[in-house]
Structure 1
Amino acid sequence: MIQSKLDYNYYNEQDRIALKIEELNLSNIIRNVISPNPIWKFQKLLRKVEYFQNCKKGYLNQIYLYYLKYRFKTISVKLGFSIPPNVFGPGLSIAHYGTIVVNSAAKIGANCRIHVCVNIGATGGQVEAPQIGNNVYIAPGAKIFGNISIPNNTAIGANAVVNKSFEKEHTVIAGIPAKVIGEVEINTIIKHV
């Protein structure tokens, strides 16, 4: 969770690296003006909302936060994301725009790569949502729900339905219901780790 300006800068830098966005130079600025990356724009705005929500107090900052939340909601609807602030750690990589729904009670660690049609939520009116570790790859269509935990360095397969906790790291989880189907070196999937 972003708690300072230093954290804010760190999260933005880790997200930039995860998305493979090149550092700013004149040609990249021109390219970004002509054809901006909507996911990078979304993630920068997500981090800015988190920073102002967690760190900035005072009347003028709260007015600016309302404006940021309005812009955040607008781009979220445009891209199909329902991702609340303060859920993802640094190094978030959203692979494509499309439907992604995440419960505000969920916690996802650093270096998560997430694809379209993913749902991370609670079960049947419960408050608890999944707690997901660092360096987790979530393939398209995965459904992760309930008061469960997923360990670090895990890959969740396409269209998996994960409704129970797992403990062993470096595994591939897939199927309906999900089960461990193999082992994985996560840095072969999430390249920036």
Structure 2
Amino acid sequence: MIDSKQAYHHYLKMDKVALGLEGHSFGFRLKEFLFPNYIGAFQKTLRKVEYYTNCKCNSVLGKLFLTYYKIKLRKRALKIGVSIPINVFGPGLSIVHYGTIVVNSASKVGKNCRIHACTNIGASGGSSKAPQIGDNVYIGPGAKIYGDIRIGNNIAIGANAVVHKSFEEDGIMIAGNPAKKIKSIDIKRIIRHI
């Protein structure tokens, strides 16, 4: 969770690395100017809202900035088709494509999550409890993760997997409907920036 300006800058830096946006060359900046990265803009605004919510909401000026960034975040979320609440994802978030991503605010996801389109992470059966997902997790397109479950570290969740039970063993791939362990993996081959 972003609880200081230093943490805010750390989250921004890790998100840029995860998205491959850490370039500083003239060519990189020209490309960003001509073809803006809306996902990167959304993630930056998400982190600003987290910062102002957690650190700056006690002052009048902080509340004004928070309101402004919340409006901006909503517009950017609608533009790329995501519903991601604040204070859910750790640093190093990488939203890979535009498309429907819906995440419950009670969910918690660790650092270096790579998430694809058409993914849902939510509660089940009227419960307020949602998945708690570890670090370095790859979530394939169309995955559905729901219920009061825990997902370990260094896990790859396959495309269209339906995960409704806990998988706390680290370094595995899970897939299928219902999801089951497929094999052991090295997550660094899938999430290359870690």
Same-fold call, TM cutoff 0.5 = yes
| Secondary structure at the counterpart of residue 48 of structure 1 | helix
Residue 35 (structure 1) shift: 1.2
Residue 25 (structure 1) shift: 3.9
Residue 32 (structure 1) shift: 1.8
Matched to 1:147, the amino acid is D
CA distance in structure 1 between the partners assigned to 2:44 and 2:24 by the alignment? 14
Find the counterpart in structure 1 of residue 63 from structure 2: 62
| Secondary structure at the counterpart of residue 173 of structure 1 | strand
Matched to 2:148, the amino acid is N
CA contact (8 A) 1:19 1:93 kept: yes
Find the counterpart in structure 2 of residue 86 from structure 1: 87
Matched to 1:71, the amino acid is K
| Secondary structure at the counterpart of residue 120 of structure 1 | strand
CA distance in structure 2 between the partners assigned to 1:34 and 1:167 by the alignment? 44
TM-score with structure 2 length normalisation? 0.97
Find the counterpart in structure 2 of residue 156 from structure 1: 157
CA distance in structure 1 between the partners assigned to 2:21 and 2:156 by the alignment? 23
Residue 78 (structure 1) shift: 1.1
CA contact (8 A) 1:96 1:116 kept: yes
Q: Which range moves more in the overlay, 79-88 or 54-63?
A: 54-63
| Secondary structure at the counterpart of residue 104 of structure 1 | coil
Find the counterpart in structure 1 of residue 27 from structure 2: 27
Write out per-residue CA displacement over residues 154-182 of structure 1, whole angstroms, 9 at most, x where no aligned residue: 00000000000012111111111111011
Find the counterpart in structure 2 of residue 53 from structure 1: 53
CA distance in structure 2 between the partners assigned to 1:24 and 1:97 by the alignment? 24
Q: Which range moves more in the overlay, 4-13 or 33-42?
A: 33-42
Q: Which range moves more in the overlay, 32-41 or 157-166?
A: 32-41
Note if 1:77 corresponds to 2:78: yes
Please, what is the CA RMSD of the aligned residues?
0.9
Any stretches of 5+ residues in structure 2 without a counterpart?
none
Any stretches of 5+ residues in structure 1 without a counterpart?
none
TM-score with structure 1 length normalisation? 0.97
CA contact (8 A) 1:22 1:28 kept: no
> Runs of 4+ in structure 1 displaced over 3 angstroms?
none
Find the counterpart in structure 2 of residue 166 from structure 1: 167
CA distance in structure 2 between the partners assigned to 1:29 and 1:169 by the alignment? 38
